[in-house]
């Protein structure tokens, strides 16, 4: 059994009936009938600050029933454990309703990582004898040892390492990342803190220490689970955005034929003797892509006449993905000879 991190922890309460202050619920004493928290205004809560983020795998609420002569109907009936990283925004970890135990111990299916924890008691969730009042003799939060990732690398289809936001840390469980449109699959390379840990990526086991995950355009969730030898699972989530198409499907220029246009060919050489101007009309694969036409720093709208001077006229077409971050640049070098 791990250490009880709630013991003598910093604790506050929504309210309490003097002298039954919140600190009496984490002092480790169960033999004294006055060593308890008492709250007469529900909903109510006990809030603990562990001073640093810790992994909790088990929690216990000891009601006053069964201790120091209190009858059985003085047990707590409904309550929940909540966690928070910042002490302001709370997420429910586990809930108990219609409790029948004097000592209610709950083992979490997956440990939770947080600095702040809160025992929340809803309206009419108090004592069986008086559901408008709550009284807790002892609250315990048991630390558990978990296996975590020590490294997480995501590579796009071209084996480039994708940036994780925020930067990887073993205790940070959620990330975002971006890959280009050409990456219809990525490679996930996770490394656990212990070789005995089992790792899955979107439910599949690793092959050679890595997993391949197919990508669709837009958001893709990559779930990485690390399960220790004793069965505790820590889940990491990476939301990977695959960019939408940044390619041209076709392009027309009045006065020119562009033979052999290919979306993956980015430079073309064209020649004219005396054409005064040309109108450029690009068609992107993705109709929502952002398309910018320019010549020597001046931008033009699709179909707008672009004056040509004698010599080289490098018309540039940049296509940027509507979703995600990717782009392609096409150059049409028009040489006007006279």
pLDDT in tens, 199-215: 999 999 999 999 999 99
| Residue 80 in tokens | 């929940």
Q: Is the pLDDT confidence value at 1 over 80?
A: no
User: 254 φ, ψ to 5°?
Assistant: -60, 135
For residue 66, the model assigns a pLDDT of 82
The CA-to-CA distance between both ends of the chain, in Å, stands at 88
Neighbours of 243 (CB within 10 A): 24
pTM, whole model, 2 decimals?
Answer: 0.76
Q: Which of 54-68, 103-117, 313-327: highest mean pLDDT? A: 313-327
Measure the CA–CA gap between 212 and 182, rounded to whole angstroms. 15
Domains of the chain and CATH, by start: 10-143 (2.60.120.260), 149-242 (2.60.40), 248-336 (2.60.40)
């Amino acid at each position: 059994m791990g250490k009880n991190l709630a013991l003598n922890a910093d604790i506050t309460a929504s309210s309490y009936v003097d002298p039954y202050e919140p600190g009496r619920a984490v002092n480790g004493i169960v033999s004294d009938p006055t060593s308890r928290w008492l709250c007469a205004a529900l909903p109510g809560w006990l809030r603990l600050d562990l001073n640093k983020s810790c992994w909790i795998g088990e929690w216990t609420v000891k009601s006053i029933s069964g201790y120091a002569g209190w009858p059985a109907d003085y047990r707590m009936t409904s309550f929940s454990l909540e966690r928070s990283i910042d002490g302001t925004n709370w997420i429910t970890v586990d809930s108990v309703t219609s409790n029948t135990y004097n000592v209610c111990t709950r083992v979490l299916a997956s440990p939770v990582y947080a600095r702040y924890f809160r025992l929340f008691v809803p309206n009419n969730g108090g004592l069986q004898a008086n559901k408008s009042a709550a009284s807790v003799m002892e609250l315990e939060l048991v630390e558990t040892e978990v296996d975590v990732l020590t490294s997480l690398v995501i590579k796009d289809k071209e084996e480039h390492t994708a940036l994780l936001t925020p930067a990887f840390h073993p205790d940070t469980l959620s990330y975002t990342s971006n890959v280009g449109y050409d990456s219809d699959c990525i490679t996930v390379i996770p490394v656990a803190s212990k070789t005995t840990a089992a790792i899955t990526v979107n439910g599949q086991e690793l092959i050679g220490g890595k997993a391949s995950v197919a990508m669709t355009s837009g958001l893709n969730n990559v779930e990485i689970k690390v399960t220790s030898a004793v069965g505790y699972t820590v889940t990491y989530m990476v939301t990977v955005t695959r960019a939408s198409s940044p390619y041209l499907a076709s392009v027309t220029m009045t006065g020119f034929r562009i033979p052999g246009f290919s979306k993956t060919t980015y430079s073309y050489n064209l020649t004219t003797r005396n054409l005064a101007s040309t109108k450029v009309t690009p068609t992107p694969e993705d109709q929502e892509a952002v398309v910018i036409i320019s010549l020597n720093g001046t931008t033009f709208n699709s179909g707008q006449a672009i004056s040509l001077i004698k010599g080289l006229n490098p018309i540039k077409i940049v296509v940027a993905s509507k979703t995600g971050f990717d782009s392609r640049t096409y150059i049409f070098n028009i040489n006007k000879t006279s």
